[in-house]
A and B are shown apart, each in its own frame.
Chain A
Amino acid sequence: MKKKTLLIALLVLFAMTSVSFAQDYELVTPERIGNPDAEIVLTANIQRSDTLFAATDNRKDYIRKAAAEWAKAHPNARIDVQVAPTGQISMTMATLLTQAESGNAPDFAHIDSFWIGRFIENGYTKSLNKYMGEDAVNDFFGFTKDVVMKDGEMHAIWGETDARFLYYRKDWIEEPPRTWDETIDLALKMKEEKGVHGFLAWLGNWEGAVNGNVWPLFWAQDGEMFDENGRPVIGEGKNKEALVNSLGFLKRLVDTGAAPVMVSSITSSDPMLAEIRSDNVAMVANGSWLYNQIDDIIDDADEKWDFVPLPQMKADQRANSNGGWTWAVLSDDPVKQELAADYIMRVVGSKEAMAERTKVYNYLPTRESIYENDPYYSENERMIKLGESLEYGNARPANSLYNTVSELTQTALGRLLTGQTDDIEAEVDEIQREALSEWEANK
């Protein structure tokens, strides 16, 4: 009888410990983080890539581990995850803005860096300073703080970034170009000698075309889109000149045949990677993510490809354009604010989390100290080069008219590249006229 009782007790104990082990595993599911029976329930809108729906196993493993740590630290709380639909950034951001306006926003959210300004401007985001500490706030690169800081308070954590470069075939090109004229000459030379595309970039009708290929050239000439009152000035004075020059260079690339007119329809890396794989292109302007993609598709990437800063009008000019995603707390409840901020710091924002996450995701960290202290970033030549480029970083302005200016510039670029017009000045005047009319209607 005693034996039987002991056996039952052991079985019960085994079952209980099994449940306990199983609970650890179940702490993070694709749509829930934490104890399912928790008293405090937070909601979060997160991009698919930062949930257990992420595309690769190493990303899923990272999220599972980091989110579980938060869940263990807060057994009385859980996060219900709203997974944002893939490829619907504008729609997701517009929905979040509507929810925030009507008081139904999730407690925290993953917000594209060129949308976060609108959330901060409208007062939907909460300060994170007290949850981060001053040192952490100061550690972020200046271009991120230009957007997410308001009155000395950090309103969102810019979790990762990227940068734009000129990738070139180092086995064909001895001296990579530093100016626009050198780029066109070299592209034409490659086209003639090797029979390949001289230069490729994604210049189709989309945000990436201007963010990757117009703004870095525009900013390098000290161009500004808006004045301190938020009034569009992109088509006035020296700004007009900078934009005319930048669009003129891209038009010249196509008009001279240095780049094929096909670039006016490219809106993703895939067509360029296809040409890279077929040894059919000499230079490609694209983001910091491209190097790993090249490494994935060709065996001898290190021997064939290298990257340098984007060529500018003059050799001594330099500017970059940097994207990425931010995380902001939208809840009015102080308890939830603290819990949400803790999740963001544990998974994205702390030094340790950012260093680990950016390695797994092939992103660039936005905290300067990581480039100094983490050997992966401080000892790797390629990472050092990428980190240095962030010194010249620029973020798209947090002005609610940015999308209008961007859209108008994309349309003008398409018209210029495909020969629908040759009058660059008139196109820039039209951008200014339209943007100004929007500003006057909304002020």
Chain B
Amino acid sequence: MNKNIMERWWIWVIPLALVLGVFFLYPLLNVIRLSFSNATITSIKEGFTFENYIHILTGSDFWQVMKVTLIFVFASVLFQLLLGLITAMLINKDLFGSSLVKLSMITAWVVPGIITGVIWSIMYSSSSWGILNYFIRLLGFNQIPFLYTPSWALFSVVLANVWRGTGFSGIMQYAALRGIPDQLYEAASIDGASTWQQFWNITLPQLKPMLMINTILITIYTFNTYDSIFALTQGGPGNSTTVLSLGAYKQVFRHLNLGRGSAYAVIMLILSGSFTILYAGFMGSDQ
């Protein structure tokens, strides 16, 4: 009897396939379909058109939005990985207070993006109650225009996103570090390997699978981030912090243009997919 059930593998696969189909595949195909239509929130018109893609790709601000998105994603992923790795290695030493650090990392990650934006807007404010500028003035320096010059505004949204995402990255890498057998380090020490050589030849190769998963997840997550930017700058000043996901949000919920919002989403999907393939190729097909 048991053997029969085990042989009928499809019994186990059907629920999963149903869930994936209904909640992931169908919405995905629907978004792709809508991206080739001129659907709005109030009217789903039939017909096929490339108009949304043509409008977006030939729009005067598209390449600016693309540039901002790539800077935002690249800087966020790089610093979340680096800071996450450093933090993971430090808490792996079981130093005093490492449990508290782990808790703080998780807390930062679970805070909703809107709240992250509100917290950092208080930190960055140039008003008398802005926390960072208060200390900067106390040290005798001029206050920094964190949110109202284009370059500082972009820096500020990246920093807030790095703060938010480093916890997740660090916890993932900490889990991988715990899985590296101590014998490898003991053997390397006996052979006279320096700390740097141990890191380069043992830690990094052992972390490689997790680094790849981490990088892919952080990249996708960052591409989809709009909430913290929305709360911090609403994409401004001008469009200096408008990323693709915020563009999609504005198209759907402000302009009510489902077709164009979906086209933005498909462009994001293509970019995320391309980066995933690129990472996989870079880190080796064996992973």
CB-CB under 8 A from A87, the residues of chain B are: 114
- Is B145 in the interface zone, CB < 8 Å from A? yes
The 8 Å CB contact of B256, one of A97, A280, A417, A434, is A97
CB-CB under 8 A from A153, the residues of chain B are: none
B39: shortest Cβ distance to chain A, in Å? 11
Q: Give the one of B40, B237, B252 with max A CB within 10 A.
A: B237
Interface of B, helix, strand, loop or mixed by DSSP: loop
- A97, closest chain B residue (CB): B41
- A267, closest chain B residue (CB): B234
- B146, closest chain A residue (CB): A265
- Is B60 in the interface zone, CB < 8 Å from A? yes
CB-CB under 8 A from A204, the residues of chain B are: 233-234, 236-237
B10: shortest Cβ distance to chain A, in Å? 35
A101 and B45 CA atoms in complex are apart in Å by 13
B258: shortest Cβ distance to chain A, in Å? 9
CB-CB under 8 A from B40, the residues of chain A are: 442
- Is A430 in the interface zone, CB < 8 Å from B? yes
B117: shortest Cβ distance to chain A, in Å? 11
- Is A118 in the interface zone, CB < 8 Å from B? yes
- Is A403 in the interface zone, CB < 8 Å from B? yes
A264 and B43 within 8 A (CB)? no
- B89-130 CB contacts (< 8 Å) to partner A: 114, 125-129
B232-276 near A? 1/0 per residue, CB < 8 Å: 011111111000000000101111100000000000000000000
A418 and B234 within 8 A (CB)? no
Stretch at the interface among A284-292, A343-351, A367-375, A406-414: A406-414
A264 and B42 within 8 A (CB)? no
A357: shortest Cβ distance to chain B, in Å? 29
Known: A265-B148, A274-B127, A278-B128. A418 touches B43 (CB 8 A): no
- B122, closest chain A residue (CB): A270
Contact count band on A: 35 or more
B60 and A418 within 8 A (CB)? no
Interface of A, helix, strand, loop or mixed by DSSP: helix
A410 and B234 CA atoms in complex are apart in Å by 10
- B116-159 CB contacts (< 8 Å) to partner A: 125-129, 145, 147-150, 153
Known: A261-B148, A265-B147. A94 touches B256 (CB 8 A): yes
B38 and A441 within 8 A (CB)? yes
A101 and B43 within 8 A (CB)? yes
- B59, closest chain A residue (CB): A434
The 8 Å CB contact of B252, one of A94, A274, A280, is A94
A101 and B255 within 8 A (CB)? no
A417 and B237 within 8 A (CB)? yes
A91 and B253 within 8 A (CB)? yes
CB-CB under 8 A from B238, the residues of chain A are: 205, 411-412, 414-415, 418, 420
- Is A90 in the interface zone, CB < 8 Å from B? yes
- Is A400 in the interface zone, CB < 8 Å from B? yes
Known: A204-B234, A403-B256, A415-B238. A441 touches B128 (CB 8 A): no
Chain B residues within CB distance 8 Å of chain A: 38, 40-43, 51, 55, 59-61, 114, 125-129, 145, 147-150, 153, 233-240, 250, 252-256
A-B contact pairs, 29 of them (CB 8 A): A90-B253, A97-B42, A98-B42, A101-B42, A101-B43, A204-B233, A205-B237, A261-B149, A262-B126, A262-B127, A264-B148, A264-B236, A274-B129, A275-B128, A400-B256, A403-B254, A403-B255, A407-B250, A407-B255, A410-B236, A411-B61, A411-B236, A414-B238, A414-B239, A417-B237, A418-B150, A430-B60, A437-B55, A441-B38
Taking A265-B233, A441-B51 as given, write out 4 further A-B residue pairs in contact, using a Cβ cutoff of 8 Å, ordered by the A residue number. Answer: A97-B41, A118-B42, A417-B237, A430-B60
